[in-house]
């Protein structure tokens, strides 16, 4: 029997157990699900891919991801996901890729701007943390949660333009993924957490009580960097650099050409460049100075006008 969930503002009808998502109780007369996830056979290859890489193929209506020892995932028009798991794959393996690259393709197909970022909800609007893997996006977001803020998204951050023309972050689901060393900085007991995959020292941190379920206008975007100096630096990002920053931090940007979504991506990214504060933050590689980093960012975004004002 399928279960019903919600993520990214979508209703999901899934044969796959998705413990990281918010579960829904279907009501009589409800509209059909936005996305259906089911098990089934997938093709070895797409017939006419416009783009392909070592693990994926894409055309305007289809996306195929094949990961050895995990399985194959076929996405159809952003509405259906067919999964053919490898014999040795378990549910953790499947859902790690399902709510990473696969759902990234779904969101691209549905016309979202998808960033490799974490986002929190603040009284002034949403605040995003972008940057390369290992630069502290999830760790920074988790530190803000410890200060009473709420999470909107982690790692795969989706936004759309609302009816008033304002770019808004669409809430994802109530979970952060943190590495063991980040858990130590946050004083989180990893023994009470579930590994996202058996082979990784990365843990699922449930944040149901700290999850914000309402779409929120963008207030500020911070690009996290590291250097070998002892100080933390905060710099404004000028208009000319903003689009490139969004492009560099687009989630799985190499999918866009095959999906024929490059034009829509350009339109959405240009709207976001005008939406809020853009900052570059550079911290020491060691020590991390997490609390000092959060102090600086919090002071910065709190001192600026409300989003959209």
Distances (CA, A) of 107 to 215, 226, 276: 15, 30, 22
Residue 41, SS3 per DSSP: coil
Which residues partner with 23 through β-bridges?
5
Determine how many CB atoms are found less than 10 A away from the CB of residue 254: 12
User: Tokens 């998705």 label which residue?
Assistant: 18
pTM over 0.85: yes
Output the six-digit token pair for 66: 């094949």
Q: Residue 2: what pLDDT?
A: 73
Residue 173, SS3 per DSSP: coil
pLDDT digits (tens, 9 = 90+) for 99-127: 999 999 999 999 999 999 999 999 999 99
**CA 153, 163, 218, 211 torsion: positive or negative?**
negative
Does residue 29 have a pLDDT over 70? no
Output the six-digit token pair for 109: 């197909």
Average pLDDT on 134-156 reads 95
Dist CA 232 CA 284 (whole Å): 7
pLDDT digits (tens, 9 = 90+) for 35-71: 999 999 999 999 999 999 999 999 999 999 999 999 9
Q: How confident is the model at residue 182 (pLDDT cuts 50, 70, 90)?
A: confident
Does residue 280 have a pLDDT over 60? yes
Dist CA 309 CA 111 (whole Å): 26
pLDDT digits (tens, 9 = 90+) for 218-240: 999 999 999 999 999 999 999 98
Does residue 6 have a pLDDT over 90? yes
**Before 287, cis peptide (omega within 30)?**
yes
Q: Residue 308: what pLDDT?
A: 47
């Amino acid at each position: 029997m399928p279960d019903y969930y919600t993520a990214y503002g979508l209703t999901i009808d899934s044969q796959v157990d998705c413990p990281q998502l918010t579960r829904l109780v279907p009501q009589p007369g409800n509209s059909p699900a936005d996305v259906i996830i089911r098990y089934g056979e997938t093709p070895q290859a797409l017939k006419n891919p416009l783009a392909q890489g070592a693990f994926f193929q894409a055309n305007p209506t289809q996306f195929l991801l094949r990961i050895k020892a995990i399985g194959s995932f076929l996405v159809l028009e952003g509405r259906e996901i067919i999964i053919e798991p490898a014999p040795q794959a378990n549910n953790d393996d499947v859902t790690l890729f399902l709510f990473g690259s696969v759902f990234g393709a779904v969101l691209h197909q549905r016309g979202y701007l998808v960033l490799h970022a974490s986002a929190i909800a603040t009284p002034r609007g949403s605040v995003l943390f972008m940057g390369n893997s290992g630069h502290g996006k999830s760790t920074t977001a988790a530190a803000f949660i410890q200060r009473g803020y709420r999470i909107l998204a982690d790692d795969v951050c989706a936004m759309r333009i609302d009816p008033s023309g304002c770019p808004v972050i669409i809430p994802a689901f109530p979970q952060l993924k943190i590495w063991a060393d980040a858990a130590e900085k946050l004083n989180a007991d990893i023994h009470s957490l579930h590994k996202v995959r058996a082979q990784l020292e990365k843990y699922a941190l449930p944040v149901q009580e700290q999850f914000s379920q309402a779409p929120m206008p963008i207030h500020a975007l911070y690009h996290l960097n590291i250097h070998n100096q002892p100080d933390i630096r905060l710099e404004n990002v000028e208009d000319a650099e903003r689009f490139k920053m969004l492009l560099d931090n687009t989630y799985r940007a190499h999918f866009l050409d095959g999906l024929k979504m490059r034009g829509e991506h350009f339109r959405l990214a240009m709207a976001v460049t005008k939406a809020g504060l853009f900052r570059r933050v550079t911290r020491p590689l060691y020590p991390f100075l997490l609390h000092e980093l959060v102090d600086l960012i919090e002071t910065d975004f709190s001192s600026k006008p409300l989003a959209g004002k």
